[in-house]
A and B are shown apart, each in its own frame.
Chain A
Amino acid sequence: MGETVARLTAAVDAGLAGSVRLVVDVVWLAWRALGAALTLRFDRTRFVAELDRSVVGALPLVLAAGLATGAVMVWQTVEGLARFGASVYAAKLVALSLVRELAPVLTGLLLAGRAGSAIAAELGSMTITEQLDAMRALALDPIRYLVAPRVLALAMGLPCLVLAFDFAGFAGGLLVGVLDKGIPLGAYLEATRSALLASDLEGGALKGAAFGLLIALIGCVNGLRTDPKRGASDVGRSTTGAVVAASVAILVADAALTRLLLGWVV
């Protein structure tokens, strides 16, 4: 019993220490990457390539997820609201939940799996094959050429993907609401329009930017921390670590940002 408790305590300690180290590394990398971005000392070609790969490349996935989420939400909410003869309010509910919560969080989680893992795996592979050392040996700063372009691309691109998720979600909800549940098109559109304020869209986009920043930074930190001595298995650990840490960070940041934005929007 005592041994189990000691082992559990040690595991918790290690977990806490690991989390603190991750936060410190993310803050340090954010400082350097944003410094490079703000002083325009980053590789613009790689920034455009990363936008294309991580953001444009994720568009079909995000649109499909948005469409399905909007449709499912209308099916679920109309089912409940119909009991009170308030089916049309499903449009309001779907619009608000999509824009404020579901679009940024689900887009963030999708991108954590898609782009965050890709970043960690790529930088991890470069670390174990000495390509990062080769860059340093050529006086090429990995922050400027590898980290800053990815951080900027995701921080700027994710809000666009959140908006794409919003519109796909509206479309999915509209199709189900009008074609399957018989809500008049005009009533559905009017309910959606009246439910939303511009600040809702802005808040969702702001969350998207924050999540993009977190996904890229956590992916980069995990990739750069890959241990060359452990080889390919550590690339796997880095990749898994990046997805798990980014997903948790998105959920925690969402709680904090929601509280902040609710105070601002009301």
Chain B
Amino acid sequence: MTLPKGFGSAGGEGATSADVERMIGRRVENMTGIITLAYIAAWLATFAGTAAGYFYYPWAYPTNSGHFAFIVLTIIESIGYIFCIKVSEEGTRKNSNVLMTIVLGSVAVGTLLIAMYVGW
């Protein structure tokens, strides 16, 4: 097996497990934190985007439309978040179902409160 420059020992022997770990870098199953933060950031950005719409252009983009878009996009982002965590942890002993439940539940409540009280 040909290894990239800097990996393996001189003399063309195979990769050691240390080499393999170096080539992998951060494993996907250890990316739960960054994926969760990215999801929350995307959700907040979605709120900011729709809010910019109904605060600055209420005649073209009424609050109802903004909240409708916000809710639908939150659902799309949530499905993406679940897929990402499930793909990254499949085949390992890791399980972040509790974290996902808390995050998704909080986002659901936040979405509901925003849709009821912001921009009217």
**Mutual binders A and B:** no
Chain B interface residues toward A at CB < 8 A: none
